[in-house]
Amino acid sequence: MRSKKAVLILALILTLSILPGYGSGNYTFADTYKPGQVEEEGHFSGVVKENNPSLGYITLYFEDGSGVNPDQFERLVSLRNFTYGYEIPVLRDGYEVSVDNIKPGDMAFIKLDKDGYIEKISVKSYYETVYGTVYSKRATWLVLKKDDGTYVNYPLSSTLPVYKHNRPGTVSDIVVGDRVRVLVQTNGANIDIAGIDIEKRTRPVTGIYRGNVEFFDSINTSIAVSRVEQFINGRWEATSNMGIQRFMYNSDYKEMPPRRPAGMVYFATQKAYDGIDKVVTASFRGTSGYEVTTKDNLLSMTDGGLLELEYSSDIIGFDKDTIAIKDGRLVDVSALNTLDSLAISMEKSLYENKYTANVIVSESDYQNSLVLYRGRIKNIEPLKTVTVESFVQLNQVSWEFTNTPKTFDIDLASSRLIEADGVGNIRNFDSAYINQTVYIVAEGSKIHLISTAPYANEPVMGRVASLTKESGENIDGAEETVTTSIIKLTEARIYNDENYVWEGSPDLSVTIPFNSVVIKNGIIGTTSLIKPGDEVRIIRHSQSGEGIIVLCQ
Amino acid sequence: MRKCYIKIFTIILMLIIAVTPLNVMAVEGTMGYAGGISVEDPIEKSEYEYTEMCFLTGVPVKLTGTLTIKKTDKNDVVTSTYTYKLANTESDITMNRVVIYTTTRETKLNGQITESTKLSRTPTEVINVGGKTFRLIESGFTQSMITDPKAAINFHTGEFSEKKVYAIGTDLTKDRVTVTLSGRTYAYDQYWSSTETQRINVMVETDIKSTTPSVKWGGVAEIVVSSATLNQVHYAKNEPTQISFDGGYVNKKWMESTLDYTARFPEFDKNGLPTDVLKTYTDTQSLSTQMELSRLMVPDIKHLNGHWAEEPISILFGLEILPGTGSNFKVGRYLTRREFVGILMNALKDIPTDPDVRTAMVNTRRTSSKKAPEISPFKDIEPGDFYYEEIKKAYQKGITKGNGNGNFGPNEYITNAEAIKMIVSALGLENLAPYPSTTTPFVDNDSIPTYARNSASVASVLGIIEPDYMGRFNPSNRLTNENAANLIFDLINYMGDELIKDYRDRMIDF
């Protein structure tokens, strides 16, 4: 009896050893049904551990999810390795895909043929959604600061799908400080990123402020601050609010102030999901030393927390409480690059000759491709082109004359007509306008704006102190009231074109009519684009004094 | 005599048609389906402070006012009346709208509830814009919804579509505006927070025939509206030192709603006629209620001053999730399965009910005065035992099935694996990872029992558990008092703080 058993075991071992080994499938199935067989053979499922399209095999973890432990490797290879040819049907999340789209971490369902090769396979992905803010980004990786405050590193490649506002973009669209959503499937050391979504509307930092802490309201998580000043264009400016202002904390900003907050607080605000400006970072500096502001370029940065500036050659320290803003986004100081232009607010130590930055703001130069022309209309091809006889083109503060005709293209979707009494309709822009002299703002030959405003030739520059709008005529049915604005300038200067010098003219007021041309950061708009603190260049009408062209720098 | 019996029976029947609250969603439906937001009026019952954007003129205008919701539920057919009274004084706009919906509910075999909503009758709506009247003359509405009731959370998702045609002015045949809305709703209800978010696409098409030549223009808006109730705990330190307790916790409860839109409409010229240039309008509006504050009991845990789990233990005692006053709380003590289920059920609490629903339930069956004997779901626990009701409830809600042999093992010590399995079952989120055969990020993945592997993976993704300093989950480790407090505290944080981000903040941002 015993010898029979031994023979049987020996036969079984021999059979197993003859079976095709690794690489050609470990399972074969009989063509005929066994007695009492109620289930088809060859069905397997499990989480994908490895997919190797070059060698044509896929390895699954065991059905119960075990098989991670290295000592299970041999068993896993012998029992859960399945081979496939090139042309097998593969479904992933219901879509037909090629076999190399199967990723570790996918849940796979496999059907083997009678020879033990994969006949068909379908998988489901289990991507995890990770939300966070881009902390730093290089060519091949990015570091994300997750919403829970931890950091995670993800690989980047040029083929990685990136979306902004649900439209395809590229990896270069991801900017440090952006909030992103990463669809990632992680299994062991394998990381597969299905895509990165950049938030649909970038919520820039809406203000950088400082003031004296009055109290912190822990019930409503808000801070009351007196003598509030806003950091605009590298200077601290008083805000329009008098007395004490209350600022709510953003619910994601968990860092509470020190137990007894007092002295100076520097903070930045951002629009929260509910549309309200809320504090997203705050640094409590206590007693203030001697403070200065400067504008310069970054020459170098050391790991020891020092910035070297290009023009002044000053060395400035920074610490963990330094608030750094780059292109409107709250970033780590390390996100600043060499030759970035910086506006810095810094404080001198009370005990040594050392400056520490409280606030660093870096704004990239905007590449303005808009050109402003003025000319008399010679011909109009309705809805298509406008030709001027000759024209002048604005260059800095002067008009350059060209004695040749120039034709501009009308783009119905973007070409606007602004007249003294309101918005005109480019569909009605016909031969009636021939011989009128107009301003044309164009990008290449494409018209963005045609304005009938009068000729302006007197350049003025200064810093906007205030902007008031005078209610004007509200034309029935028109979408907006035709208003005139008055800009009050400080440090104003008027260009003397006889002596070619800027002459000081403190506290100048300029009236801006409705059909003036206002351009800020490459955007053509109305005076609502202009904010106190902006540095502007205005070309005035020499007799009426009205500002016809307003360029925000 | 017979007549007298009939009379008495009728009176009893009418008394039985009592107005009782129904255990359904707390938030879903409170914003209506017109792309507006609301928060509950603290004084007037069934009345909400309401804001919506009006796009009829081609320029978004904010309308504010009140929304009154009245719902009656009769045998799973809900009739809801939404009355809007809105205005914008600056733009000289008023709006009055009354919509009556009929919703039919059906409970499916697996416990899921499907809803189908349609208009009960033609709605009335009149909008006056500076003397120009927009009168609703045609309307169609359909909505479907599914509710998946899980042990601790009811999840809802659905979609709706509406078409409204307005006549401009007195001649109902010439000038018309057609507004088409289609939206999806995602919502959940549970004790610690409830959220409903709608993503709506609006198309406005205007056809003016009274002018020569006639004018046609169109515009679109994408709106995300979200309404949430929040329940959070905040620490308040005492200033005087000579006080019998050291600080304490305050429970904050409030409701907030957010409306975020991006609209693209033609720019209008000085004559009020549309141009080809499309203007983009974006804005965010929000409403919130005053916070309701309530103090939590200050537990007697002076023997835990400075302990790393002091905060969660204190809060859980304050919320009466942990039983007693805290004086007997012993760190390092292992928790039994009975105790853990009791604490877990205390933490999950009942899902709140819809305050606007009045239910008319007709009970025609006579009930016997004899009470049926209570039958325990498990052989080793009897009615009247400590935490019996909680264990029974956990069994009924599918949080625990016991040890598989008809026993619950109430006095056995609970392990990490068992605890996490119960928590993820309560949330109903097992399908976030391959079920049941997933792998986990823990280095001791292979030691995790099969039944708990999926739950451990899901809890790790949700941030409810973290690996230890060696990257392990330690599935067989017994749960100590303080570790259980930490785990339940993280669960409450997830339900109160994290889940809301997925349904609101991130839907608005992305």
Q: Where are the beta strands (DSSP E) in A403-526?
A: 406-409, 416-419, 422-424, 437-443, 446-451, 458-470, 484-496, 501-504, 508-512, 517-520, 523-525
Contacts of A222 in chain B (CB under 8 A): none
Q: Which residues pair with B109 in a beta bridge?
A: none
Q: What share of chain B is helix, strand, coil (3-state, %, to 5)?
A: 20, 40, 40
Asked if B436 lies within 8 A of A64 by C-beta distance, the reply is yes
A481 touches chain B (CB under 8 A): no
Of A46, A276, A475, the CB nearest to B286: A276
∠ CA A177-A301-A147, nearest 5°, is 25
B418 lies in a domain?
Answer: yes
Range(s) of the domain holding residue B98: 22-237+248-292
Q: Give the residue on A whose Cα is nearest the Cα of B286.
A: A274
Provide the residue type at B357 as one letter: V
* Same domain assignment for residues B86 and B183: yes
Classify B324 in phi/psi space as left (phi over 0), alpha (psi -120 to 50) or beta.
Answer: left
Closest A-chain CA to B252: A219
Token code pair at residue A72: 């299970």
Residues of chain A with C-beta less than 8 angstroms from the C-beta of B283: 275
d(CA B304, CA B298): 13
Nearest to B234 among A67, A218, A413 (CB): A218
Could you give the CA distance from residue B427 to residue B152 in angstroms, rounded to a whole number? Answer: 6
Per-residue confidence in pLDDT tens, chain B, 510 aa: 455 554 544 444 333 333 333 333 455 688 999 999 999 888 888 899 999 999 999 999 999 999 999 999 998 899 999 999 999 999 999 999 999 999 999 999 999 999 999 999 999 999 999 999 999 999 999 999 999 999 999 999 999 999 999 999 988 788 999 999 999 999 999 999 999 999 999 999 999 999 888 999 999 999 999 999 998 888 888 888 899 888 889 999 999 999 999 999 999 999 999 999 999 999 999 999 999 999 999 999 999 999 999 999 999 999 999 999 999 999 999 999 999 999 999 999 988 877 666 666 555 455 555 677 888 999 999 999 999 999 999 999 999 999 888 999 999 999 999 999 999 999 999 999 998 879 999 999 999 999 999 999 999 999 999 999 999 999 999 999 999 999 999 999 999 989 999 999 888 888
Q: Closest CB to B450: pick one of A64, A200, A482.
A: A64
For B467-483, give one letter per residue: b (16+ CB within 10 A) or e.
eeeeebbbbeebbbbbb
Q: Given CB atoms, is A152 within the 8 Å cutoff of chain B?
A: no
Is residue B15 a part of any domain in this protein? no
Nearest by CB to A273, which of B269, B454, B508? B508
| Same domain (yes/no): B328, B255 | no
Q: What is the 3-state secondary structure (H, E, C) of B284-300?
A: EEEEECCCEEEECCCCC
Q: Which residues of chain B neighbour A179 with C-beta distances below 8 Å?
A: 509
On whether residue B12 sits in a domain, the answer given is no
Is B79 a domain residue?
Answer: yes
Question: Between chains, do B260 and A478 touch, taking CB under 8 Å as contact?
Answer: no
Q: A414 vs B277: CB contact, 8 Å cut-off? A: yes
Shared domain for B113 and B175, answered yes or no, is: yes
Residue of chain B nearest A421, judged by CA positions: B270
Chain B residue at shortest CA distance from A62: B437
Return the residue in A45, A48, A59, A66 with the most chain B beta carbons within 10 A, the one to mutate for interface testing.
A66
Q: Which of A450, A377, A369 is nearest to A407 (CA)?
A: A377
Chain A residues touching residue B252 (CB < 8 angstroms): 219
Contact in structure between A509 and A522 (CB atoms under 8 Å): no
Model ipTM? 0.81
Name the minimum distance, in Å, from the CA of A393 to any CA of chain B.
25
Chain B: give the shortest CA distance to residue A425, in Å. 6
- pLDDT at residue A8, rounded to an integer: 54
Cβ A64–B461 below 8 Å, yes or no? no
Provide the β-strand partners of residue A458.
Answer: A540
Cβ-based contacts of A128 with chain B (< 8 Å): 461
Residue B441 lies in a domain: yes
Number of domains in chain B: 2
A108 contact partners, CB below 8 Å, separation of at least 6? A45, A46, A47, A48, A58, A60, A102, A121, A122, A123
A187 reaches B (C-beta below 8 A) = yes
Do both B327 and B436 map to the same domain? yes
* B27: closest CA of chain A, how far (Å): 18
Kindly state whether residues B100 and B233 are assigned to the same domain.
yes
Q: What is the mean pLDDT of chain A?
A: 88
Q: Are residues B171 and B199 in the same domain?
A: yes
Indicate whether B350 and B267 sit together in one domain.
no
What single-letter DSSP state applies at residue A552? Answer: E
Chain A nearest-CA distance from B115, in A, is: 28
B32–chain A nearest CA distance, Å:
19
- For residue A125, the chain B residues in CB contact (below 8 A) are none
Task: State how far residue B209 is from chain A, nearest Cα, in angstroms.
Answer: 17
pLDDT at A18: 42
The answer to whether residue B74 sits within a structural domain is yes
In angstroms, the CA B23 to CA B36 distance is: 25
B231 with B152, same domain: the answer is yes
Q: Say how far apart CA A224 and CA A309 lie, in whole Å.
A: 35
Domains of chain A: 18-31+38-124 (2.40.50), 128-198 (2.40.50.140), 205-286 (2.40.50), 290-362 (2.40.50.140), 458-552 (2.40.50)
Give the β-pairing of A437-443 and A371-381. antiparallel
**Looking at chain A, how many residues does it have?**
553
B13 is a domain residue: no
In-domain check, residue B370: no
Interchain pair B509, A273: CB under 8 A: yes
Q: Are residues B82 and B112 in the same domain?
A: yes
B382, B439: one domain: yes
Least confident of A50-64, A400-414, A497-511, B256-270: A497-511
Same domain, B196 and B312: no
Question: Which residue type does B182 have?
Answer: S
Range A31-40, long-range pairs (CB < 8 A, 24+ positions): A31/A114
Q: Which residues pair with A48 in a beta bridge?
A: A60
**Which chain B residues are closer than 8 Å to A169 by Cβ?**
none
Query: H-type helices in A364-432, by residue range?
Result: none
Name the amino acid, one letter, at B201. Answer: N
Candidates A125, A419, A425, partner chain B, best to mutate (most B CBs within 10 A): A425
- Do B276 and B342 lie in one domain? The reply is no
